[in-house]
Amino acid sequence: MNTITAAITAVGGYVPDFVLSNKVLETMVDTNDEWITSRTGIKERRILKDEDKGTSYLAIMAAKDLLAKANIDPLEIDLLIMATATPDMPVASTGVYVATEIGAINAFSYDLQAACSSFLYGMSTAAAYIQSGRYKKVLLIGADKMSSIVDYTDRSTCIIFGDGAGAVLFEPNYEGLGLQDEYLRSDGVGRDFLKIPAGGSLVPTTFETVKDNRHNIIQDGKTVFKYAVTNMADASELILKRNNLTNDDVDWLVPHQANKRIIDATASRMNLEDSKVLMNIEKYGNTTSATLPLVLYDFESLFKKGDTIIFAAFGGGFTWGSIYLKWAYDKK
């Protein structure tokens, strides 16, 4: 039997219509366009304004986009993995609801949470299911409604995050394409530097936690930046060395879109020219679990069968890593 590898065979995406620009943020908090752009590379972000819609809506839209483009019957989906840090609710899996809503009623589903590394970890998980030989079609969705956990009076966080969703389909490949190697890591030292303090089992919701605004995301920006720069760059460099790849062998870097300076540092460590580094952070900001698939969605037309792509991400917790993947198709 030929060796099974897990390849991405289709991509979908969705972002809300409402654009929150730096100019608008200037009217909300003490900041300005030049300050935000120079420190993050972000010009605008998309916000899901509908109060009756959650992360599931974003995920459903991205999944439907993929299914329509690839002409996939949702009944063929074996598994749906929902990578998200902002599930619709603490109990009742968002992924299960999404699977039902898109008609993937033959699939089992669950949520995967590793902050901004959720989709990267999801790629590893989806690939393992495919390589097991038991499953033929695994739909991996990365989606987050970050506006639901952002305090728009906190300029250290509200300038960064946006809402969006992306989806990819993993299928078996017998040509040696798809996921080749991974280096995934985590370290609980990061627990206090990027978190939502209340609402979990450690600090349940009370009148006081709501009054004290402890249900929105907070971060120690300098510490997170330091760890992110070091670990994303280290992981990407290691995956190259371990697979005897040079910068010339790499066709594209698909990095987590948290901060342009972090992306630049990672690319510099890999000695990659700017044209190989894919970024859409200017348009969307940090959409957390959705950043990697949205990059694939925006730049899908550039990828050629056999291209070498390096993925890299860093998230709260801390979580981080890098994946080496060979692209499996030319866009029609």
Catalytic residue among 22, 173, 231, 256: 256
**243 catalytic per annotation:** no
Distance CA 137, CA 229 (A): 34
**158 catalytic per annotation:** no
Token pair listed for 162: 């946006």
Counted residue by residue, the chain has a size of 332
Catalytic residue among 116, 158, 216, 231: 116
Task: Report yes or no: 147 and 320 within 8 Å, Cβ to Cβ.
Answer: no
Distance CA 234, CA 82 (A): 27
The residues near 191 (Cβ < 8 Å, ≥ 6 apart) are: 317
**271 catalytic per annotation:** no
The residues near 298 (Cβ < 8 Å, ≥ 6 apart) are: 13, 278, 280
At 38 the three-state DSSP class reads: helix
Residue 255 CA: distances (Å) to CA of 118, 148, 271, 276, 309: 13, 24, 14, 11, 10
Token pair listed for 107: 């699939």
Question: Annotated catalytic sites, by residue?
Answer: 116, 256, 286
